Amino acid sequence: MRLHKLLVSCLAVLALAAPAFAQKKMSKEDKAKLPRIAILDFKAAPDAWHGWRHGGWGNNMSTISNQIRDMFTTEIVDKGKNKIRVIERERLAEIRGELNFQQSGEVDTATVQKIGKLLGVKYVMTGKITRFAYKEGGFGTGWGVGALVGKVTGDGMAGAVAGSVNVKKASFTGRLDIRLIEVETGEILGAWKDEDKVSDTSVKVAGTGAEVSYDEELVNKVFEPIVTRITPKLLRATVSANEDE
């Protein structure tokens, strides 16, 4: 009898709670009213690169920027569901074209506000890669292999080709500086910097070992943990700003 009463009570509680759960599903109209955020390009600060010549990395700066922006977009959309919307990258590209805007290093607040107003967003997120350091570790294969090939084949050219790429162990440190700006007021609602490190990674090094081959997966490994940690802080700042209005 007691078990029967307990089951009835539980069912009654669930029945009362069902409408509340149903109300949590946001309508299209309500979603359309959510504040929007634009994520600008991530550029490297002039002294961001440490321990290497650029190799193929400098030529892939726009790719690295897009990778970081995509990571933030994914995190904000996932963690900020029913709280905020992210403007499409294509729309941002259109506005950049209209303003002939080329971001390099710091972006002044007036430009951020102008971009934000043209996009119709409430917040703009700016970011910089303030550090992307490379530190060499132990050697793997390399010029010794080339010398061996040359000796066995009697062909110096074959040895040079075989030894043209070294594989080394290396560590990479990345740091991002992020700012969240409210478009209407130009106020900086939050500023964060964070860094992470990937150690003992095998990397291909061209020639004498100064130019590290560009590796898209490595960029994700270095910066994804930073993006994961910063996003909740950014979302809390936007929620707090909306509650204060």
Asked if residue 143 is part of any domain, the answer here is no
Asked if residue 142 is part of any domain, the answer here is no
Phi and psi, residue 155, nearest 5°: -120, 110
What are 135's strand-pairing partners? 171
Asked if residue 80 is part of any domain, the answer here is yes
Ranges of the chain with pLDDT below 50 = 8, 13, 16, 18-23, 104-105, 141-163, 209
The tally of domains found in the chain comes to 1
Q: Tell me, what CATH number does 228's domain have?
A: 3.40.50.10610
Please report the pLDDT score of residue 206 as a whole number. 62
- Which residue type sits at 226? I
pTM above 0.85, yes or no: no
pLDDT tens digits, residue range 103-153? 544 567 888 888 888 889 999 999 999 888 877 765 554 444 444 434 444
Asked if residue 13 is part of any domain, the answer here is no
Buried b (16+ CB within 10 A) or exposed e, 163-176: bebbebebbbbbbb
Asked if residue 3 is part of any domain, the answer here is no
Which one-letter DSSP state was computed for residue 53? B
Asked if residue 53 is part of any domain, the answer here is yes
CB–CB of 165/113 below 8 Å?
Answer: no
pLDDT tens digits, residue range 98-108? 665 555 445 67
Residue with tokens 């590290």: 212
- Which residue type sits at 145? V
**What residue numbers bound the domain in which 183 lies?**
30-134+172-195+217-244
For residue 226, what are its two tokens?
Answer: 């930073």
Phi and psi, residue 133, nearest 5°: -100, 145
Provide the residue count of the chain.
245
Asked if residue 155 is part of any domain, the answer here is no
CB–CB of 72/231 below 8 Å?
Answer: yes
